[in-house]
Amino acid sequence: MFFSRNAVGMEITQHGVKMALVGGNKSRPKLLAKEIAEFPAGTIRLVHREPNVVEPAFFVRQIKEAYLKLLHRTNLVSVSLPDSCGRVTLLDLETRFKSRDEGRDVIRWKLKKSLPFDVSDIHLDYQILREKENGEISVLVAIIARQVVTQYEDLLIEAGIQPNRIDFTTFNLYRLFSPRIDMGESSLFVTYHEGVLSILAFHQGVLEFYRAKELADHDPDMNRVFMETSSSLLFYRDKNPGREFREAFCLAPNGNGELFRTVIAEACGVEPFMLLPDTFIDNPGGGAVLTPLAAALGAATRNL
């Protein structure tokens, strides 16, 4: 027998917070409720080395009110933070690890000269993507300063929320659509969400390229999108000669879908498939456009 449970996904941005209460199961999630609360300019400042929330009392009040309106209490709350408050990198390492702690130590040593903050004062997590026959490994590394993530955690707890998972927005966007993206052998995923252009390239189910570039404007400048995507793919192909995409997927803000899809097609040489959250999430109430909630929905599915 298959049991379902409810989970909350939350996306925090400079402009506000979005929450989605999701039920059902991982193969077919269902949107049960949603809430959106806006922040005035200056409430959050996205920086690497310092706490991001400039107006903590207001932040806590808005978060608490939105969470209470969901009318559901759960300790399964997954949080999505902007990519720009941390750093994500892909590394090739010459040796395998005997333990997870040893892996963190090796990665810290490897990155200590390239990080914008002290490696002794970071929260670091990683995932092994591929083990090669010669003993080398490829790892995906996510880094955030302790004072940044600790402030978010403390303020959420003050608002009555105990986050059990925290991740960056690009990966929660991918997570929502991963059942379809992962079916491809060599695929490209490009999103424009909350003013950030994200580009992920996969080969044989393994992430080989990541980039999240803040372009600031809510509505994408298509010339800028084309240039940034083209330069990213040029770098990727130079590093992986002969690699060609068999499929491409994109997620664009409401009202910009077809133009965005055309621009990505010109940049990558493959006609992209437009991804819609409504295809992956049941929305019994209807009417609500789910694209703005994509990261919150992806976060929620981590706990189903």
pLDDT tens sequence across 133-186:
777 899 999 999 999 999 999 999 999 999 999 999 999 999 999 999 998 889
The owner of tokens 């990505």 is: 264
Band of the pLDDT at 260, cuts 50, 70, 90?
very high
Give me 287's structure tokens. Answer: 């009417």
On the question of pLDDT at 1 being above 50, the answer is no
Average pLDDT (287-292) is 76
- Considering just the CA atoms, what is the radius of gyration of the chain in Å? 19
pTM, full prediction: 0.93
Helix or strand or coil: residue 171? helix
On the question of pLDDT at 286 being above 70, the answer is no
Band of the pLDDT at 120, cuts 50, 70, 90?
confident
Q: How many angstroms separate the CA atoms of 272 and 274, rounded?
A: 6
Write down the pLDDT at residue 4.
59
Q: How many angstroms separate the CA atoms of 121 and 147, rounded?
A: 8
Band of the pLDDT at 269, cuts 50, 70, 90?
very high
On the question of pLDDT at 196 being above 50, the answer is yes
Q: Which of 161, 168, 203, 170 is nearest to 184 (CA)?
A: 203
Write down the pLDDT at residue 287.
55
Decide which of 126 and 98 is more confident.
126
Band of the pLDDT at 272, cuts 50, 70, 90?
very high
Segments making up each domain of the chain, as ranges: 7-83+148-170, 85-145, 172-279
pLDDT tens sequence across 154-167:
999 999 999 999 99
The owner of tokens 């940034």 is: 228
What is the torsion angle, in degrees rounded to the nearest 10, for the CA atoms of residue 297, residue 151, residue 140 and residue 175?
A: 0
On the question of pLDDT at 121 being above 90, the answer is no
Average pLDDT (39-43) is 93
Write down the pLDDT at residue 275.
93
Q: How many angstroms separate the CA atoms of 223 and 220, rounded?
A: 9
Bridge partners for 38 per DSSP: 16
pLDDT tens sequence across 211-237:
999 997 677 899 999 999 999 999 999
CATH class given for the domain over 7-83+148-170: alpha beta
Q: How many angstroms separate the CA atoms of 65 and 44, rounded?
A: 18
On the question of pLDDT at 117 being above 80, the answer is no
* Cβ–Cβ under 8 Å, residues 204 and 185: yes
Average pLDDT (199-222) is 90
What CATH architecture is 85-145? 2-Layer Sandwich (3.30)
Band of the pLDDT at 25, cuts 50, 70, 90?
confident
Q: Same fold for the domain at 85-145 and the one at 172-279?
A: no
pLDDT above 70 covers what percent of the chain? 96
* Matching CATH number, 172-279, of 3.30.420.40, 1.10.3680.10, 3.30.930.10, 3.40.220.10: 3.30.420.40
Mean pLDDT taken over the chain: 91
Helix or strand or coil: residue 303? coil
Band of the pLDDT at 254, cuts 50, 70, 90?
confident
